[in-house]
Amino acid sequence: MSDWRVLALPPLPREALLSLFGTDRVELVTPTERTQAEVARLLPDVDVLLGDWSPSLRLPEPGPRVCFVQQPSVGTDGIDLETFSAAGVPVANCAGANTTSVAEWCVSATLSLLRRTVEGDAAVRRGQWPQTSLGGRELAGSTVGVIGMGAIGRRCAELFGAFGCEVSYWSRSRHDDAPATYRELEDLLATSDVVVLVIALGPQTRGLLSAERLACLKPGALLVNGARGEVVDEAALVTALASGQVGGAALDVFTVEPLPASSALREAPNVLLSPHMAGSTVQAAMSIVGQSVANLRRALAGEPVVDVVNGLDPVVRRRHP
């Protein structure tokens, strides 16, 4: 009989999931359908949970047996961390796995907006040749405000700085070693040509860019969201884009994913829409798999796990006889 029952939520072939553990001590459990009801049905009878890499399958509570959660992503907003902490269940993520991928997407998306790359491509496909009429601006010399100064925010600041931008940042705490200048949020919004969102989603950041804060933006500023859709009031953003208060937006994340067919963002002017792919590079995927596998094997071997995000003891202890 297997020592551990592991519920694996990533939509991968069963053989691929089994290969992650490298031991016959594991009984692998996978959902027959990707629904909240199915996850709730399976949770009471498993010891370890390998989460989904997107927040589509949310985890409100650990059930009576779960003693460790490995999230195969950096974000953990699909997990109720307070509830898992209260139950004594450590939750770990893959810290830093997609830092470069997301930061590079933020830069490339900004360049696409500034140089109107998407419009140029569409015009050529229509048989037009708007060599000079599309205009466009250089990134060099722009003022860039980065909201969030974790690993991704730092890398964004470094990359934008390398393009010759004046980079400032705001986060919930100041960092003396940050590669950018700290500004209060309203000041950052009012002075930046480009605002880049790479801040974690939580109670303090949900709806951070409200209608009132979008009105604080420098008129015509660009907004690049590589964080989470819920950080921005999407309806207010549509209005700000229509009025020209926001000159353009590059969005990799949305409040509802996939983006509904009825979303007004689909018809908003000067918007680059991306299917939550900023962190989806080959290199990032390899890092996520490697970090998840290593941590799961630590947990099963009774060794301390790493990258615990809810402040608990990294030694995994069973919650059932």
Tokens of 239: 């209005």
List residues with catalytic annotation.
228, 257, 276
Mean pLDDT, the chain cut into blocks of 10 residues (321 residues total): 84 82 82 91 94 81 94 90 95 96 98 96 96 94 98 98 98 96 98 97 94 98 97 98 97 95 95 96 94 93 95 88 55
In the numeric block, the tokens 């993520």 are attached to 93
Q: Is the peptide bond before 258 cis (omega within 30 degrees of 0)?
A: yes
The arrangement of strands across the sheet holding 68-70 comes to 26-29, 4-8, 48-50, 68-70, 91-92
pLDDT of residue 1: 44
In the numeric block, the tokens 């939520």 are attached to 9
pLDDT of residue 127: 98
Spatial distance between the Cα atoms of 278 and 99, rounded to a whole number of angstroms: 10
pLDDT digits (tens, 9 = 90+) for 274-294: 999 999 999 999 999 999 999
Spatial distance between the Cα atoms of 296 and 136, rounded to a whole number of angstroms: 48
Report whether 291 contacts 97 (CB < 8 A): yes
